[in-house]
Amino acid sequence: MGEMEEKIKQLMKRKERVKQAGGPEALEKLIYKKGMLGARERIEALMDKSSFVEMDMLATHHCTFFGMDKKEIPADGVITGYGKIDGRLVFIYPQDFTVLRGSYGEMHGRKICKIIDKAAQVGAPVVGICHSGGLRLHEVLGPMEMFGQLFYRNSIYSGVIPQISLVMGTVAGGQAYSLGLTDFIIMTEGSFIYVAGPAFVRTQIGEETVEEELGGAVMHSEVSGVADLVAKDEIDCFKKTRQLLSFLPSNNNSFPPIIDSGDNVEHRETKLNNLVPVNSKVPFDMKELIRLVLDQRDFFEVKPKYAQNMITDFGRLNGRSVGIVASQPLVLAGVIDVKAAEKAARFVRFCDCFNIPIVTLQDTPGYMIGTKEEKKGMIFRGAKLLYAYAEATVPKIAVIVRKAFAGAYIAMGSKYIGADQVFAWPIAEIASVAPETAASIIFKKEIEGASNPEKVREERLREYYEKFINPYNAASRQDIDDVIEPSETRPVLIRAIELLASKKEEKPRRKHGNIPL
């Protein structure tokens, strides 16, 4: 027994040394002074109490180059394992910046790849808490191989298990590409993501820049669109992560949890009858409409500061998760530009991957036109939205609140590209082009030949509106299923979601489509 006790003591000592990571001084200097939590503290803050189980705690590097044989790297700079969040299984890998700045070495990468494989095997989400100085150059090609292995796993398990990246501090180099392959990126204020830092950029291309401009949270959430959310601090980041996971299933073969909100299924919100101006040129806040429709007036918005003319968020209808895609008339009148099309397309495809019904709320005058958008590749990039909706097999329900013109009408969840049910409010304006444009072309000769062209133009435009630009014309063609009172929107959507809960749709067999990327 004495010999066994000694072996156990040695084991405990070894594990305790691993838990100390870079040591108290490194923790104070690199983490606490910057208002951050240590890697293990981050696990405790995110996961259910005492639920975390660590894997490969004793793994470390095997490099002997450049003096590495004399370096001890506890856990090789990354903690990997699994536990529970709100009682559901989740895998996690926080990088430890106190250990060689969280650099990505060969065993570091092997540990991450192993738990991603395990997560896919058992069907559970993966959350990466990313804080790394980048590739560990001392190990030459070993880390490069494992970057490739990580990218491969991010890709093949995309649409199989949810992959979420939390950025706390700096993530530099090749690992930035891994973040781009995951489903959601949440950054804390003061964190950074870039392929190459300011010093590297200065050396290689002679450009002077600073971290905030190159890869700060504000830039990535408002300009590049890389970040889905920005949290004010780490605790807020973990709160947002738990909220996000609550709307998602564990994998592509399951469904999101149904959560009883206690909200009245048949509640008719009379405020909706007076929320939206009848004049379609007068803007209103679509987010207020969304609040009045969803359970407990609560939703979780994704990319709230990027392409704000398009809203993408998660919410619940009678406890069931739904993905909301909506025009925002307050920004660019709700027109769809390149950024809005790509933002919505990515969100639609994610919902389709994970069995989340899509609810579309439309009030858009069309796709953005003009030389600027054409030069950005509107035809190619705007088509992503069409592709995403047409490809999706989850329940698709649309409500035309007001304007629904031209290609944007088709793109945003129309019957023409596979919507299951489409409803319209009585003030809806549905047309192949903006009414003024159509009337000016159709009645051009009559208007130009009239003694009072303006009067004739107004008369013909009014006649055109009354006959064609209303929901009843669309209903007569079965392009929409019903015209509903605005206050009925919530119960109508709930009934549609319940009707389509067991929907099954098979697309033509293929290896995969070729979305216009």
String of DSSP letters for 395-452 = -EEEEEEEEEEHHHHHHTT-GGGT-SEEEE-TT-EEESS-HHHHHHHHTHHHHHHSSS
Q: In this predicted structure, what is the pLDDT of residue 1?
A: 62
pLDDT at 409: 93
pTM, entire model: 0.94
Range name among 121-125, 249-253, 366-370 with the lowest pLDDT average: 366-370
What pLDDT, on the 0 to 100 scale, is given for residue 265?
85
- The structure tokens 């919530």 sit at 490
User: Residue 445: its pLDDT value, please?
Assistant: 78
Cβ distance 368 to 378 under 8 Å?
yes
User: Is residue 448 over pLDDT 80?
Assistant: no
The larger pLDDT score, comparing residue 411 to residue 454, is at 411
Q: Is residue 42 over pLDDT 70?
A: yes
Among 73, 47, 72, smallest CA distance to 129 is for: 47
Exposure b/e, 89-99, CB count within 10 A at least 16 = b: ebbbbbbbbbb
Q: Is 187 within 8 Å of 227 (Cβ atoms)?
A: yes
In this structure, are residues 359 and 493 in contact, taking their beta carbons and an 8 Å threshold?
yes
Distance CA 108, CA 60 (A): 8
Q: If you average pLDDT over residues 380-402, what whole number do you get?
A: 96
Residue with tokens 């959310």: 229
pLDDT of residue 309: 98
Q: Which long-range contacts (CB under 8 A, 24 or more apart) does 163-166 make?
A: 163/116, 163/125, 163/126, 163/128, 164/125, 164/126, 164/127, 164/128, 164/241, 164/244, 164/245, 165/127, 165/128, 165/130, 166/127, 166/128, 166/129, 166/130, 166/237, 166/238, 166/241
The answer on pLDDT for 86 being more than 90 is yes
Neighbouring CB atoms inside 10 A of 278's CB total 9
pLDDT category of residue 63 using cuts at 50, 70 and 90: confident
In the chain, helix, strand, coil percent, each to 5? 45, 20, 35
Q: How far apart are CA 322 and CA 359, in angstroms?
A: 7
Q: Quick one: average pLDDT of 231-256? A: 97
pLDDT at 468: 79
Q: Which token pair is 179? A: 């973040």
Q: Which fold has domain 270-428+470-499?
A: 2-enoyl-CoA Hydratase; Chain A, domain 1 (3.90.226)
Q: Could you write out the three-class secondary structure of 147-185? A: HHHHHHHHHHCCCCCCEEEEEEEEEECCHHHHHHHCCEE
Is residue 170 within 8 Å of residue 133, measured between CB atoms? yes
Share of the chain above pLDDT 70, in %: 99
- Classify 23 as helix, strand or coil: coil
Which residues neighbour 31 within 8 Å (Cβ) at sequence distance 6 or greater? 37, 38, 97, 98
Residues tagged active-site: 173-174, 407-408
For the cut 80, the answer to whether the pLDDT of residue 138 exceeds it is no
Predicted local confidence at residue 92, as pLDDT: 98
Residues forming a β-bridge with 192: 170, 216
Residue 40 contacts residue 19 (beta carbons within 8 Å): yes
Q: For residues 26 and 139, which has the higher predicted lDDT (pLDDT)?
A: 26
Would you state the pLDDT for residue 45?
A: 97
What average pLDDT score do residues 62-90 get? 87
pLDDT, residue 328, reads 98
Q: Are 225 and 302 in contact (CB under 8 A)?
A: no
Topology adopted by domain 12-246: 2-enoyl-CoA Hydratase; Chain A, domain 1 (3.90.226)
- Over residues 260-274, the pLDDT tens digits come to 888 888 889 999 999
Evaluate if residue 108 carries a pLDDT over 80.
Answer: yes
How does strand 192-194 pair with strand 482-483? unpaired
Residue limits of CATH 3.90.226.10 in the chain: 12-246, 270-428+470-499
Average pLDDT, the chain: 92
Position 435 pLDDT exceeds 80: no
Q: What is the structure's pLDDT at 65? A: 78
Q: Tell me how far the alpha carbon of residue 420 is from its chain's centroid.
A: 23
Interval 438-462 mean pLDDT = 78
**pLDDT tens, residue by residue, 285-343:** 999 999 999 999 999 999 999 999 999 999 999 999 999 999 999 999 999 999 999 99
